[in-house]
Amino acid sequence: MNIGFIGLGNMGAPMAANLAAAGYETAGFDIFAPCPNGVSSPGTAPGAVRNREIVFTMLPDGGTVRRVADELLPHMMEGCIWVDSSTVEIEIAETVATAAAACGVEFLDAPVSGGVKGAQAGTLTIMVGGASTAFARARPLLETVGGRVVHCGGVGAGQATKICNNMILAPAMIATCEAFALASRLGLDLNVVHEVVSKSSGYSWTSNAYTPVPAVGAESPADNQYKAGFAARLMLKDLLLAERAAGMAGFEPEIAMAAKEFYRRFVEDLGKGDMDFSAVILGMLEGNDSETRD
């Protein structure tokens, strides 16, 4: 299969590179970023999707996905599968799927989890919504960029599953940061704390795979001055998506909404949205917990 890839940022670039490295003819386009090694550059977005059997997109928000749909669906060939790995509103996935069907294009919403390291290693978890026939056709490519590929249901189910996943991730990171900050203030050796937590009931992905303090546990953004693997502003965006989805479902998720407010202050009041979402620990470690709490 030949592939078009729109959106070559921190996540899209390594995904496109992995597809090219696996032997798929891949053309890419991004307004701001160059194509990675192995990915050809036709110079325009329509050029990247024209006559492609599969088109991937990795875009920052739902508004961009809708604009890309308006611009690029007329250039996608009939029978093409569009795999959108952006994280967006459920209703946008449904709207875009309807527009795609009118153009003879099959649409899969396929948001991912695993961060930049997962994208680089090809070990992402991919949550897919859409028709089972389209999923079966796209699965070999999805398995090239992901270590775990799950068909979650019809269109929008991938987005809904990703929203629920990040409703767990956000408060888990905040709790992990608070625990390590308290351990630091109590004078404990954080490596010893990590050793205990990683093998006991405090175990979590945020404590083990993404430890928010430097030189403790696996390598993480904390070891790179909190350069974003997953930016705090994107976590806030996902929590706003969760709030919207919960409103549609008539549900009030108290913990997730407390985490949303926590990240809103970090991003909007403190202006730290481009830092990694684990950077919320900084004020706690420095003793300036008013930075993240007030």
Could you give the residue numbers annotated as active site? Answer: 162
Q: What is the CA radius of gyration of the chain?
A: 20
**Cα 176 to Cα 41: distance, rounded to the nearest angstrom:** 42
SS3 for 240?
helix
Inter-residue contact 56 to 72 (CB < 8 Å): no
Enter the DSSP assignment of 34: P
What does each C-alpha distance from 134 to 45, 83, 172 come to in angstroms?
23, 10, 34
H or E element, residue 56: strand 54-57
Inter-residue contact 54 to 106 (CB < 8 Å): no
Give one word for 31, left, alpha or beta, with left for phi > 0 and alpha for psi -120 to 50: alpha
What is the distance between the terminal CA atoms of the chain, rounded to a whole angstrom?
Answer: 53
* H, E, C per residue of 112-177: EECHHHHHHHCCEEEEEECCHHHHHHHHHHHHHHEEEEEEEECCCHHHHHHHHHHHHHHHHHHHHH
Sign of the Cα torsion 182, 114, 57, 99 reads: negative
